[in-house]
Amino acid sequence: MFEVFESTESEVRSYCRKYPVEFSKAKNAEIFSVEGERYIDFLAVAGSMNYGHNNPEIKAKIVEYLSEDHIINALDMYTQAKEEFLQTFKEKILEPRNMNYKVMCCGPTGTNAIEAALKLVRKNTGRSGVIAFSGAFHGMTMGSLSMTTDRTSREGACVPLGHVTFAPYDGTLDSIAYLKWILEDDHSGVDKPAAIFLETVQAEGGINVASVEWLREIRKICTENDILMVCDDIQVGNGRTGTFFSFERAGIQPDMIVLSKSISGFGMPMALLLMRPELDIFRPAEHNGTFRGNQLSFVGGTAGINYFVDHHLDDEVKRKEKIVARYIEEEILPLDSRLSYRGMGLMWGIDFGKINPAFALEAVHEGFDRHIIMEVAGRKDGVLKLMPPLTIEDEVLKEGLAIVKASIEAVLRKA
């Protein structure tokens, strides 16, 4: 049935191995196979479908744009679609939050914008080293990979991945004390870094939620030591944690912010680097790329921001957060006292580490048999990750949670 994929597509393919059907249609939080089988989506295309598959309000704008023969790719030339996006982003996202940032349109993947950030922090400070955290995932190209921690990903590099010092993330050892020590001790052996890169919730790292206190401490350390703070909001931005930017809950502003995934509103490729204006020192063309001007992404991005604001999606996420948290506490944790959970907004992880990390993947398989799409994350892939579109209907969310429970029950029964 999958003959052409298996004979012709590279062995590097991954998600298709967990969800072995051929997909065709998708609507909000439901995906349909070519046979018309319905699956509930608790993955949201790795966080790129926050506003739901084929969101009608966003789709209408894209269809209208297409039907009028507007330009589709325009490098970084000035276009109406980009003008509207920048204006909307500025007026509806940045200004209400008192944020003053320049916007750099990068190549279309998250990792490209991380590469841009790496280059720019080095160029600004004249320092080559950066600090990243254990458990981090920042992408798969060489610079980003040097800050990505899981062994499987790093092994693909086949050359030394350098210029990064790793520190423990919040909740592991004494993260802040360690950071202060490597910066303050003139015999720590660590050169002063250009920047500290962080995720406020490590998604691929196993849904590790940094505390507000920790985030504020990092901001303080960066300011006091003249080190740039870069927040990778690629997966946890765009409302995923209950606010547009994930760091808002700490009342801080990073020096640079990376956005991708759901920023295009419609699952189209797009990645942005935001930087404080005085850091905007790349010369023209110094981080060029052909696909920095996907106009459908700008159109979708504008409509996505309008959707987020008009539908008060931040409040909706906070409301749904309670539904998920309560369900996990009342229905899932009682299944086995060794289970634990973490999360916020609409990203949650159920940790099988204390029972058997392999159970998380088994739960994904059991779930798929019951028509839900989930993913694993974290150390030894031992965390079952739940991340539906933010627009998921309450009934579908509850239906999905009941399937998660049934899947975990099935795994535990077999153990």
Ligand X SMILES: Cc1ncc(COP(=O)(O)O)c(C=O)c1O
Q: Give me the phi and psi of 354, to 5 degrees please.
A: -85, -10
Residue nearest ligand X by beta-carbon distance: 110
Which residue, 387 or 403, is less far from ligand X as judged by CB? 387
Contacts with ligand X, 211-250, as mask; x by CB under 6 A = ---------------------x-xx---------------
Is the Cβ–Cβ distance between 170 and 202 less than 8 Å?
no
Nearest in space to 211 (alpha carbons), one of 199, 200, 222, 197 = 200
- State how far the Cα of 372 lies from the Cα of 370, in Å rounded to an integer: 6
CA-CA distance, 163 to 414, in Å (whole number)?
46
Applying CB under 6 A, does 109 fall inside the site for ligand X?
A: yes
Nearer to ligand X, 139 or 304 (CB): 139
Structure tokens at 217: 């401490």
Q: Report helix angle 394-414 to 358-369, nearest 10.
A: 120
Shortest distance (Å) from residue 1 CB to ligand X? 28
Q: Of the listed pieces 36-44, 58-66, 103-111, 126-134, which binds ligand X according to CB under 6 A?
A: 103-111
d(CA 124, CA 121): 5
Which of 29, 147, 183, 203 binds ligand X (CB under 6 A)? It is 203
Which residues, at least 6 apart from 153, have a Cβ–Cβ distance to it below 8 Å? Answer: 137, 140, 145
137 binds ligand X (CB under 6 A): yes
Sorted by sequence, the CB contacts under 8 Å of residue 292 that are 6+ apart come out as 75, 76, 105, 106, 107, 108
State the nearest-atom distance from the C-beta of 267 to ligand X, in Å.
12
Q: Tell me if 110 contacts ligand X by CB under 6 A.
A: yes
Is 208 among the residues that bind ligand X (CB under 6 A)?
no
Q: Which is nearer to ligand X, 207 or 317 (CB)?
A: 207
Task: Choose the binding region for ligand X from 63-71, 187-195, 196-204, 240-248 (rule: CB under 6 A).
Answer: 196-204
In sequence order, what are the beta bridge partners of 38?
A: 32
Q: How far is the CB of 232 from ligand X (least distance, A)?
A: 5
Q: Does 149 bind ligand X (CB under 6 A)?
A: no
Shortest Å distance, C-beta 3 to ligand X: 28
Which window, 32-40, 110-118, 249-257, 358-366, contacts ligand X (CB under 6 A)?
Answer: 110-118
The 340-344 sheet, strands edge to edge = 340-344, 347-351, 383-386, 375-377
- Round to whole Å and give the CA distance between 262 and 391: 13
Contact 206, 383 (CB under 8 A): yes
How much is the CA Rg of the chain, to the nearest whole Å? Answer: 21
Shortest separation between residue 10's beta carbon and ligand X, angstroms: 16
Exposed e or buried b per residue across 200-238, where buried means at least 16 C-beta atoms within 10 angstroms of its C-beta? bbbbbbbbbbbeeebbebbbebbeeeebbbbbbbbbbbb
Residue 382 backbone phi and psi in degrees, to 5: -90, 5
- Closer Cβ to ligand X, 137 or 368, answer by number: 137
Least distance to ligand X, CB of residue 347, Å: 11
Instruction: Number of helices (H) and strands (E) in the chain: give both, helices first.
Output: 14, 17
Determine, following the binding rule CB under 6 A, whether residue 138 of this chain makes contact with ligand X: yes
Our CB check for ligand X shows the closer of 233 and 366 to be: 233
Q: Does 375 bind ligand X (CB under 6 A)?
A: no
Name the residue nearer to ligand X (CB basis): 109 or 241: 109
Under rule CB under 6 A, which residues in 248-277 are in contact with ligand X?
260
Nearer to ligand X, 197 or 341 (CB): 197
Smaller CB separation from ligand X, 175 or 235: 235
Residues 42-71 within binding reach of ligand X (CB under 6 A): 46
**Minimum distance, C-beta of residue 137 to ligand X, in the bound complex (Å):** 5
Q: Which residues bind ligand X (CB under 6 A)?
A: 46, 109-111, 114, 137-139, 199, 203-204, 232, 234-235, 260
